[in-house]
Amino acid sequence: MGLLCSKNRHYAEADIEENAQAAEIERRIEQETKAEKHIQKLLLLGAGESGKSTIFKQIKLLFQTGFDEAELKSYVSVIDANIYQTIKILYDGSKEFAHNDVNSSKYVLSSENKVIGEKLSEIGSRLDYPRLNRELAEEIGELWKDSAIQETYARGIELQVPDCTHYFMENLQRLSDANYVPTKEDVLYARVRTTGVVEIQFSPVGENKKSGEVYRLFDVGGQRNERRKWIHLFEGVTAVIFCAAINEYDQTLFEDEQKNRMMETKELFDWVLKQPCFEKTSFMLFLNKFDIFEKKVLKVPLNVCEWFKDYQPVSAGKQEIEHAFEFIKKKFEELYFQSTAPDRVDRVFKVYRTTALDQKVVKKTFKLVDETLRRRNLLEAGLL
Amino acid sequence: MPMFQPSKRDGVVVAGFDGSGDGQVLDLDTAVRDGVLGGGGGGIIGAGGGEKLDLKKMIEELDLPEIPSVFICPISLEPMQDPITLCTGQTYERSNILKWFNLGHYTCPTTMQELWDDSITPNRTLYHLIYTWFSQKYSLMKKKSEDVQGRVSELIQTLKKAKGQARIQALKELRQVVAVHAIAMKTVVDEGGVSLISSLLGPFTSHAVGSEAIAILVNLELDSESKTNLMLPTKISLMVDMLNEGSVETKINCTRLIEKLMEEKEFRSESISSHRLLLGLMRLVKDKRHSSGILSGLSLLRSICLHKQVTSLIVSIGAIPQLVELLPALEPDCLELALFILDTLSSLPGGKAALKDCGNTIPNMVKLLMRVSESCTQYALSILWGVCELAPQECSSVAVEAGLAAKLLLVIQSGCNPVLKQKSSELLKLCSLNYTDTIFISKCKLTRTIQ
């Protein structure tokens, strides 16, 4: 009898402990679910090279502790890769133009530079790149200055030359230093195709240093072959930040050279707007790369893009730039309302003009985004 | 008898008469200087000329949050207007302590002592102090509000440099001053306030700043140059955003300001050819909780309808059925605007079709004939005409069933202008084509449809 009793007690004790553990786990799950609810999810979407990752980096710099030395150093290989890849594209491009173009002589390099070009082209086709050193930097610099390369660069759009080219080429000496540590600006310009998903959690600290909302920002790959990875993220998103590079109206895609980039963006935006999971999501449209747009729009008319074929210029200079920008903005607004079912028309939809590389602009823009989302919350809570 | 010690605050916190308005204990030095304690100097009453200021009135008007605690009646916690002191040395408002006695208590409320002496002594000294203190505050307030121009200048200077919260505060205050004092409006304009406030509006303007700025600008006299400046696409875009997201007051302000800007001849239709603007306006117009919003929304919509390029956009966003549904609930002035809009839109083929497709168009229009005003009747008639002409078979029978015939007869028999009467008889003829004479005449019976 005594044995029985003590055995039962042993089991009973084990039970109690198990129950206590289970209860603790339940409690923890509940707590964390509650905390999760307060975190607002922001999703960065857009076509490839629209500036999503740059915005992501800016937010990291603005509202988190930025990049520490190790992280900065990790970008050295990326920057090296950018430089080698770019100069290879330009060199190969000059050869192509020299072969095919009517004014072939424009694209013919000097014989010394041809030698350099062949060498760099070979390096650029390897899987692993050597660290940029003084010697290589000088050679790249020489090649870059060659008029044939400059002529090729002028037609960079046809060759998928990335936007960071000029910046890196002008800074070769600094970048090739033995003790080079990338600056924040270097990191912002560094271009690497995002695969998979990256996220950061942050809180935009207000003027009074009161912590406000907590946001979690997700950056996803933009090229076509990455989009299927986004689907499972769409649940419960507070806002979509859709980046559209407005300077790309005359460029074609990296992954499909027949497709105009602006048309691709248009289709993607349309697709995103119609997703059922975005029924209640706020949409912030960042019309990005305004700095490049400003310079291009006066030289290349908007109507080269099919979507903008009904554009009529009205004036010149700054006024014309503003006019062209407003035209594009209206086109996107039109698209938004056409793609939005009547029951969704009350979603927040705002358009912002951005230059992702300019930290001040990103900061100001994000303050506005934050204000809009907070007002929306108050409105939904019935407090406004 | 133990003497009750009056409570002392540690130190002397300055009450001051410099308008700071806080502080619990009088600073005797400043009190002497300012003549509160009865000395000759110090301009006790600002008004001068023997005008006796009523203490009660002053207390009410000033409505100060911080009053020296010695002035407060312990029973009601309100400032005393007729302080009397009991034998315990405690002072109360006369009416309050008498109420206390009437309830049968013969104790001092704060000390809880039983009163050994039922005399109540008017505390003239305290009364004098209270009166003078309030008078000082009052004349300061009056002076401040008279110095509106100075205040406006000050605020404009602040705005030139202030950022963030300070900027919002300055704008808020300026808005309040302008709302109360007509002279403030002129001062703002004279001191270059308009261009200053306009310059605050841009692509990075927060809602907080933008809404205050618009609230000020909409009440001012704007010259041509200012209006042209405000017509810049980024500024209009900001106004449209606020029209969509702001409070009702903000929405109305934006609406009114845009309408003002449209009066300028340089105004480009492109600025208002915007989905966001039109959808925001429709939302405002449909918000039954705020009738002033409906009026200003319809007013702007009417002005927009005058721009032919934009009318098809209005039709495409489905405004017509929404407006038709609204009609029964509208006030007369709103009705006229709504009908004008619908009439203008009916001149477009898409508009006419939308009107026909909306089931309530005909019944609502018929109801409105000869109900509100001659212009309403005119617009309703025009709309009915358009719809019936488009689909005579279908629409005229619906219209006649709704009592159109009788109403048309009323118009013809009334004192309306001849054109209207002519139109009415033409419509009557059109509708009668589908009926035999006898049936049609029976449809014309007045009893059912007219009150």
> What's the pLDDT tens digit per position in A73-118?
888 888 888 898 888 888 888 888 888 878 777 788 888 888 888 8
- The reply to whether residue A333 touches residue B206, judged by beta carbons under 8 angstroms, is no
B88 in a domain, yes or no?
yes
Looking at per-residue confidence, does B439 or B211 come out higher?
A: B211
pLDDT at B193: 86
Residue B127 pLDDT level (bands cut at 50, 70, 90): very high
A277: confidence class by pLDDT, cuts 50, 70, 90: confident
Mutation test of the interface with chain A: which of B209, B211, B245, choosing the one with the most A Cβ atoms within 10 A? B245
- Chain A 141-170, residues with CB within 8 Å of chain B CB atoms: none
Interchain CB distance below 8 Å, A329 and B237: yes
> Does the beta-carbon distance from B234 to A334 stay under 8 Å?
no
Confidence at residue A214, expressed as pLDDT on a 0 to 100 scale: 82
Active site residue A165: no
Backbone angles phi, psi at B130, to 5 degrees: -60, -50
pLDDT tens-digit series, residues A49-69: 888 888 888 888 888 777 788
> Could you tell me what percent of chain B has a pLDDT over 90?
22
Mean pLDDT of A146-164: 83
pLDDT confidence bin for B33, thresholds 50/70/90: low
The shortest CB-CB distance from A375 to any of B165, B207, B275 is to: B207
Report the number of distinct structural domains present in chain B.
Answer: 1
pLDDT: is A225 or B269 the higher one? B269
Q: Return mean pLDDT, chain B.
A: 81
**The domain containing residue B105 runs over which residues?**
63-122
Record: contact A372-B164, CB cut-off 8 A: no
Q: How far is A320 from chain B (nearest CA, A)?
A: 12
Least confident of A22-26, B1-5, B395-399, B443-447: B1-5
Chain A residues in contact with B273 by the CB 8 A cut-off are 330
Q: Is the pLDDT of residue B51 over 60?
A: no
Task: Name which residue leads in pLDDT, B157 or A344.
Answer: B157
How many pairs of residues across A and B have Cβ atoms under 8 Å apart? 44
**Which among B206, B241, B279 is the nearest to A345, CB-wise?**
B279
Return phi, psi of residue A146, to 5°. Answer: -60, 135
Query: pLDDT tens digits, residue range B302-327?
Result: 999 988 888 988 988 889 999 999 88
Question: Looking at A269-273, B375-379, B407-411, which range is the least confident one?
Answer: B407-411
Which of B200, B239, B271, B275 is the best residue to mutate to test the A interface, defined by the most A CB atoms within 10 Å of its own CB? B275
Beta-sheet pairing, A39-46 with A239-245:
parallel
Write out the DSSP string of B275-331. Answer: HHHHHHHHHHHH-TT-HHHHHHHHHHHHHHHTSHHHHHHHHHTTHHHHHHHHGGG--
- The CATH number for B70's domain is 3.30.40.10
d(CA B167, CA B155): 10
List the one residue out of A299, A292, A312 whose CA is nearest residue A246: A292
Determine the residue of chain A that is closest to B233 in CA distance.
A326
**Between A242 and B447, the higher pLDDT residue:** A242
Alpha-carbon distance A124 to A126, whole Å?
6
Residue A176 has pLDDT above 90, yes or no: no
Q: In this structure, are residues A263 and A256 in contact, taking their beta carbons and an 8 Å threshold? A: no
The active-site residue, picked from A80, A139, A219, A248, is A219
Query: CA B10 to CA A249: how far, in whole Å?
Result: 74
In this prediction, residue B24 has a pLDDT band, given cuts at 50, 70 and 90, of very low
Nearest CA distance, A347 vs chain B (angstrom): 11
Token pair recorded at residue A163? 């936007």
- Measure in Å the smallest separation between the Cα of A187 and chain B Cα atoms: 26
CB contact (8 A) between residue A352 and residue B233: no
pLDDT surpasses 70 at B91: yes
Q: How confident is the model at residue B122 (pLDDT cuts 50, 70, 90)?
A: very high
Q: How far is B161 from chain A (nearest CA, A)?
A: 17
Q: Assign A349 to helix, strand or coil.
A: strand
- Which chain A residues in 351-370 lie under 8 Å from chain B, judged by CB atoms? 351-353, 364-365, 367-368
Lowest mean pLDDT among A62-71, A127-136, A320-329, B185-194: A62-71
Identify the band that residue A207 occupies on the pLDDT scale cut at 50, 70 and 90: very low
Helix (H, G, I), strand (E, B) or coil at A203: coil
In a domain, B70, yes or no: yes
pLDDT single digits (tens) A20-46: 888 888 888 887 777 677 788 888 888
pLDDT tens track for B165-189: 888 888 998 888 888 777 788 888 8
Taking only Cα atoms into account, the Rg of chain A, rounded to an integer number of angstroms, comes to 26
Give Cβ neighbours of residue B448 (< 8 Å, ≥ 6 apart). B403, B406
Task: State the catalytic residue, choosing from A191, A238, A261, A347.
Answer: A191
Strand partners, A239: A42, A282
- The H-or-E segment that residue A57 falls in is helix A52-63
Marked catalytic residue, from A160, A183, A223, A359: A223
Q: Is residue B193 part of a domain?
A: no
CB contact under 8 Å between B275 and A350, yes or no, is no
Residue A54 annotated to the active site:
yes
The DSSP secondary structure of A105-121, one letter per residue, reads: GGGPPPHHHHHHHHHHH
Residue B258 lies in a domain: no
Which helix (DSSP H) or strand (DSSP E) does residue A245 occupy?
Answer: strand A239-245
> Confidence class of residue A225 from pLDDT cuts 50, 70 and 90?
low
Nearest CA in chain B to A376: B245
B312 within some domain = no
HEC secondary structure over B317-370: CCHHHHHHHHHHHCCHHHHHHHHHHHHHHHCCHHHHHHHHHCCCHHHHHHHHCC
Instruction: Supply A369's token pair.
Output: 């985004």
Domain assignment present for residue B298? The answer is no
Residues of chain B positioned with their CB less than 8 A from the CB of A350: 241
| Residue A281 annotated to the active site | no
Q: Are A205 and A63 in contact (CB under 8 A)?
A: yes
Q: Which residues contact A377 (CB under 8 A, 6 or more apart)?
A: A213
Q: What are phi and psi of A216, to 5 degrees?
A: -125, 120
ipTM of the complex: 0.73
CB atoms within 10 A of CB A265: 25
Contact indicator for B396, B434 with CB cutoff of 8 Å: yes
Within a domain: residue B90?
yes
Question: Phi and psi for A66 in degrees, rounded to 5?
Answer: 75, -155
What is the reported pLDDT for B38?
Answer: 54
Query: Which residues of B lie inside 8 Å of A (Cβ-Cβ)?
Result: 164-165, 203-204, 206-208, 232-234, 237, 241, 245, 247, 270, 273-276, 279, 283, 317-318
Q: Is residue B86 part of a domain?
A: yes
Q: Which of B206, B233, B318 has its CB closest to that of A367?
A: B206
Span B419-433, average pLDDT: 82
The pLDDT tens digits for A340-376 are 877 777 788 999 999 888 888 998 898 888 888 888 8
Catalytic hit among A40, A54, A58, A365: A54
Average per-residue pLDDT in chain A?
82
B275: chain A residues, CB-CB within 8 Å: 333-334, 336-337
Q: Which residues of B touch A336 (CB under 8 A)?
A: 275
Give the whole-number percent of chain A exceeding pLDDT 70. 89
